[in-house]
Chains A and B, each alone.
Chain A
Amino acid sequence: MSTLTKIMRKPITSAIVAIFVGLLVASIILVVAGYDPISSFEALIGGMVGKPKYISNVIIKATPLLFTGIAVAFAFRVGLFNIGAEGQYIVGTILAVIVGYSLDLPPVLQIPVVVLVGTAGGAGIGAIIGWLKAQFGINEVITSIMFNWISLYLCNFVVSLPQFHQPNSTSSYSINESGYTTLFYGMKNSEDGAEAIRNIPVIGDAIMRTDVNIGIFVAIIAAIFIGWLLMRTKVGYEMRAVGFNRDAAQFTGINVKKNLTLCMAISGALCGLAGALTITGIAPHSIATLAAFENNGFNGLSVAFIANCNPVACIPASFLFAGLLYGGQTVQQTVGAPSEIINIVIGTIVFFMALGGVIPMLADRLDHKRAQKAKEEEAKLAAQVSDASDPSQEEANNAH
């Protein structure tokens, strides 16, 4: 094993090479489409981290992706493919709006109630999917995709109900202010408070102009908790055993059915939590008629697989993904590239991220080749040695 192949085996190398190759291919696409890639990437980076408030917005956008990313990663480790993160997220938003608008308790009660009901909604959908899988062997991919659509239309139905529909708009009423988890909300809306925030150096603008909320802290705690649950607890051990080999797990006395249902319930709960925290944390604090999926759940799939289904690795992956999404809009604005091109660029980068596993394999191949070469050389050397001793033998043969 040489130093080169050693470096190639480090996961970080895979990530860096993947991003680099992704950017290279993306540049080719941009050139083909007639846009200047260098100024495009300048705009992309500038739009991500150019100002404190952009960083703040990236963090805000990363929050739901991190939740759904962990949810998908977690289910995948237990051998389930939760493509229904999208629907579970939507159910979380719907329930949060219904409860948050109907109830008006003091914030200490209102916030937990709204968030927990949203979480429970996601968990409920997840549990149904898991139970159907465990009890009747119905493939979770099918049921969860169907639940995506059920959730989408349920959302549109709730928005259209007279008690929730905000007249002359496409959205529902906002939840009551007592349910907001936006930080410094009260201060921002009073003259003195706003002045005080603006005067904070560097980050004042970021706090004032973005919906800074508690979501990301909860999400990071959730990522670490799920990582701990999977790797350090009996529950996690059982679940991973189910993920590796269902039959073997059953044979060792693990209750597979219970674990499948529980896993999907937890996965769904994370998505529901993401939805509820989006409603409580970000303006407009309401749901709107959906023409298509907003992709909070589907992007979670990408996040999970970029992170190789490691819950803690989902944290940087979600930031990267959110950065690309948010910075991409700046590319559109400054370079004029249509959003379709930007989506292709983002897709390319993610695609090569997913191919990250190729690098260690290449390292294996290199090592293998080197070993083979060494063997061949050895064989040659051996042949030469025997060649050197041959003449005498031949002579001996001839003599016979």
Chain B
Amino acid sequence: MNKNVSRRSFVTGATGVGAFAALAGLAGCNQKKDDGGQKASGEKKKKLTMVTDTGGVNDQSFNQSAWEGMTELKDKNGWDVSYLESKQDSDYATNLDKAVDAESDLVWGVGFAMADATLKAAKDNPNTQFAIIDNGNESQVSNFTGVMFRAQEPSFVVGYIAARTTKTGKVGFVGGISSALIDQFEYGYRGGVAYANKEKGTNVEVSAQYAESFSDAAKGKAIANSMYSDGCDVVFHAAGGVGTGVIEAAKDANKLAIGVDRDQAYLAPENVLTSALKRVNVAIVEISEKILKDGQKGGTTVSLGASEDAVGIAEDHHLMGEDTYKAATDLLDKIKAGSVVPPASKDDLDKYVKSLS
């Protein structure tokens, strides 16, 4: 027994020492490489840091998409990019502060939960540029850029697809936490259904429900289940993590669901009809380049939509057929051209429906 222990501890010790020696060597190599790179480039590289909300960088949603945009900037322009993950709401301020300390030229806040913290950081650090995804810049702070998506545009198109695909004449919508942001999705979607009803002379109904959460997948599943058993056969969600529950319910009931933000077909290839895309990566690349290359100086709210290619629908369309897909892309082109303007709020929708009839 005694001998066993000592032998084991010897082996551990030896491994440790060996590994330590190896890593010391490794560290040496790395440092040399870094120095070389710095000298070769000569001028100072642009530095960008993004701070995620509590979803983290692998959230399968907009944080991940934002990071994809950042890495694209790195590959394209050779800029120095990094990220900081927030674990709690109180991390936003300290993470933004660390991003500034790292001498970032541009700091991105991802998600509207970070709006207040990012705005405050911008006020405290007037020499650093800040930008935020999914929130406007109402206070006109000059080093702060708000980025909003016209989410009603892809929602309108998926609403149109849903109305053309449904066999029961009933489609559903599951929202996250009720807010102006999610209203864009709901009323855009309703607008798209109304548009299809007009075009095809159908009478597809929309039932909508909110989970009051962006993370409670179980609740999403429960809501979607009741919608499916209520006769809906297509359900669109704009609810972050809640949506994975919606898609799961679609899989169980063998009905259809529509994804959001990213192409979510991989979650259930035979049940995700399409996805309303919000290309956060495109926004990150576009706005970062405007600020750091063209010297645009914040103080504004940038609105991105179909005409900037920042929103769209998923390319995969094996569940809806060629005709519907063709009609949907035509509709998207009309939105780009401005001949169709999707509604983004309840009032907009009322006006829009009146204009149709």
Is B90 an interface residue, CB under 8 A from the partner?
yes
Please tell me the size bucket of the interface on B.
35 or more
Q: Contact between B214 and A170 (Cβ–Cβ < 8 Å)? A: yes
Chain A count of residues within 8 A CB distance of the other chain:
47
Instruction: Please pick, from B56, B87, B89, B212, the residue contacting A284 in the complex, using a CB distance under 8 A.
Output: B89
Residues 50-71 of B at the A interface (beta carbon under 8 Å)? 54-58
Given contacts A38-B24, A168-B112, A169-B112, contact A291 B241 (CB under 8 A): yes
Given contacts A332-B84, A333-B99, contact A39 B27 (CB under 8 A): yes
Q: Contact between B181 and A168 (Cβ–Cβ < 8 Å)? A: yes
Is B116 an interface residue, CB under 8 A from the partner?
yes
Determine the distance from Cα of A294 to Cα of B54 in the docked complex, in whole angstroms.
10
Q: Contact between B213 and A333 (Cβ–Cβ < 8 Å)? A: no
Secondary structure class of chain A's binding surface, majority of residues: helix
Shortest Cβ distance from B54 into A: residue = A291
Determine the distance from Cα of A57 to Cα of B96 in the docked complex, in whole angstroms.
13
Shortest Cβ distance from A51 into B: residue = B101
Is B301 an interface residue, CB under 8 A from the partner?
no
Determine the distance from Cα of A210 to Cα of B82 in the docked complex, in whole angstroms.
23
Q: Contact between A333 and B49 (Cβ–Cβ < 8 Å)? A: yes
Q: Contact between A24 and B16 (Cβ–Cβ < 8 Å)? A: yes
Q: Contact between B102 and A283 (Cβ–Cβ < 8 Å)? A: no
Chain B residues lying within 8 Å of A36, measured Cβ to Cβ, are 23, 26-27, 30
Q: Contact between A329 and B84 (Cβ–Cβ < 8 Å)? A: yes
Chain A residues lying within 8 Å of B98, measured Cβ to Cβ, are 47, 329-330, 333
Instruction: Please pick, from A38, A168, A209, A369, the residue contacting B124 in the complex, using a CB distance under 8 A.
Output: A209
| Chain B binder among A79-87, A226-234, A334-342 | A334-342
Q: Contact between B97 and A209 (Cβ–Cβ < 8 Å)? A: yes
Is A154 an interface residue, CB under 8 A from the partner?
no
Is B40 an interface residue, CB under 8 A from the partner?
no
Given contacts A31-B19, A36-B27, contact A329 B95 (CB under 8 A): yes
Q: Contact between A53 and B113 (Cβ–Cβ < 8 Å)? A: no
Residues 212-251 of B at the A interface (beta carbon under 8 Å)? 212-216, 241
Determine the distance from Cα of A386 to Cα of B181 in the docked complex, in whole angstroms.
96
Q: Contact between B85 and A31 (Cβ–Cβ < 8 Å)? A: no
Chain A residues lying within 8 Å of B23, measured Cβ to Cβ, are 27-28, 30-31, 36-38
Interface string of B10-21 (1 = CB under 8 A from A): 000001100110
Shortest Cβ distance from B180 into A: residue = A168
Chain A residues lying within 8 Å of B91, measured Cβ to Cβ, are 329
Chain A residues lying within 8 Å of B116, measured Cβ to Cβ, are 284
Interface string of A76-96 (1 = CB under 8 A from B): 000000000000000000000
Q: Contact between A291 and B214 (Cβ–Cβ < 8 Å)? A: yes
Chain B residues lying within 8 Å of A57, measured Cβ to Cβ, are 94
Chain B residues lying within 8 Å of A336, measured Cβ to Cβ, are 82
Chain B residues lying within 8 Å of A201, measured Cβ to Cβ, are none
Is A305 an interface residue, CB under 8 A from the partner?
no
Instruction: Please pick, from A170, A338, A369, the residue contacting B113 in the complex, using a CB distance under 8 A.
Output: A170
Determine the distance from Cα of A105 to Cα of B37 in the docked complex, in whole angstroms.
60
Shortest Cβ distance from B95 into A: residue = A329
Is A277 an interface residue, CB under 8 A from the partner?
no
Given contacts A27-B20, A156-B213, contact A369 B2 (CB under 8 A): yes
Shortest Cβ distance from B120 into A: residue = A283
Chain A residues lying within 8 Å of B292, measured Cβ to Cβ, are none
Secondary structure class of chain B's binding surface, majority of residues: helix
Given contacts A24-B20, A288-B89, A333-B49, contact A339 B56 (CB under 8 A): yes
Is A278 an interface residue, CB under 8 A from the partner?
yes
Determine the distance from Cα of A47 to Cα of B94 in the docked complex, in whole angstroms.
11
Is B141 an interface residue, CB under 8 A from the partner?
no
Chain B residues lying within 8 Å of A282, measured Cβ to Cβ, are 90
Given contacts A27-B19, A36-B26, contact A333 B179 (CB under 8 A): no
Chain B residues lying within 8 Å of A332, measured Cβ to Cβ, are 82-85
Shortest Cβ distance from B23 into A: residue = A31
Q: Contact between B16 and A171 (Cβ–Cβ < 8 Å)? A: no
Q: Contact between A171 and B113 (Cβ–Cβ < 8 Å)? A: yes
Shortest Cβ distance from A294 into B: residue = B88
Q: Contact between A284 and B27 (Cβ–Cβ < 8 Å)? A: no
Shortest Cβ distance from B5 into A: residue = A365
Is B117 an interface residue, CB under 8 A from the partner?
yes
The residue among B16, B56, B117, B177 with the most chain A CB atoms within 10 A of its own CB is B177
Chain A residues lying within 8 Å of B180, measured Cβ to Cβ, are 167-168
Chain B residues lying within 8 Å of A369, measured Cβ to Cβ, are 2
Q: Contact between B26 and A31 (Cβ–Cβ < 8 Å)? A: yes
Is A289 an interface residue, CB under 8 A from the partner?
yes
Is A160 an interface residue, CB under 8 A from the partner?
yes
Is B93 an interface residue, CB under 8 A from the partner?
yes
Q: Contact between A53 and B26 (Cβ–Cβ < 8 Å)? A: no
Chain B residues lying within 8 Å of A169, measured Cβ to Cβ, are 112-113, 115, 179
Shortest Cβ distance from A165 into B: residue = B177
Residues 260-298 of A at the B interface (beta carbon under 8 Å)? 278, 282-284, 286, 288-289, 291-292, 294-295
The minimal Cβ–Cβ distance linking B147 to chain A, given in whole angstroms, is 16
Is A326 an interface residue, CB under 8 A from the partner?
yes
Interface string of B145-186 (1 = CB under 8 A from A): 000000000000000000000000000000001011100000
Q: Contact between B177 and A170 (Cβ–Cβ < 8 Å)? A: yes
Extra pairs beyond A28-B23, A39-B31 (20, CB < 8 Å) = A24-B16, A24-B19, A24-B20, A28-B19, A36-B26, A38-B23, A39-B27, A156-B213, A167-B179, A170-B113, A171-B89, A209-B97, A283-B117, A284-B90, A284-B116, A284-B117, A289-B214, A334-B82, A338-B57, A338-B58
Interface pairs (28), CB distance under 8 Å: A21-B16, A24-B20, A27-B23, A28-B23, A36-B26, A36-B27, A37-B23, A160-B212, A167-B180, A168-B112, A168-B179, A169-B113, A169-B115, A170-B113, A170-B214, A278-B90, A283-B93, A283-B117, A288-B89, A291-B213, A291-B214, A295-B87, A329-B84, A329-B85, A329-B91, A332-B84, A333-B49, A333-B82
Listed in ascending order, the chain A residues whose CB lies under 8 Å from chain B are 21, 24-25, 27-28, 30-31, 36-39, 47, 51, 53, 57, 156, 160, 167-171, 209-211, 278, 282-284, 286, 288-289, 291-292, 294-295, 326, 329-330, 332-334, 336, 338-339, 365, 369
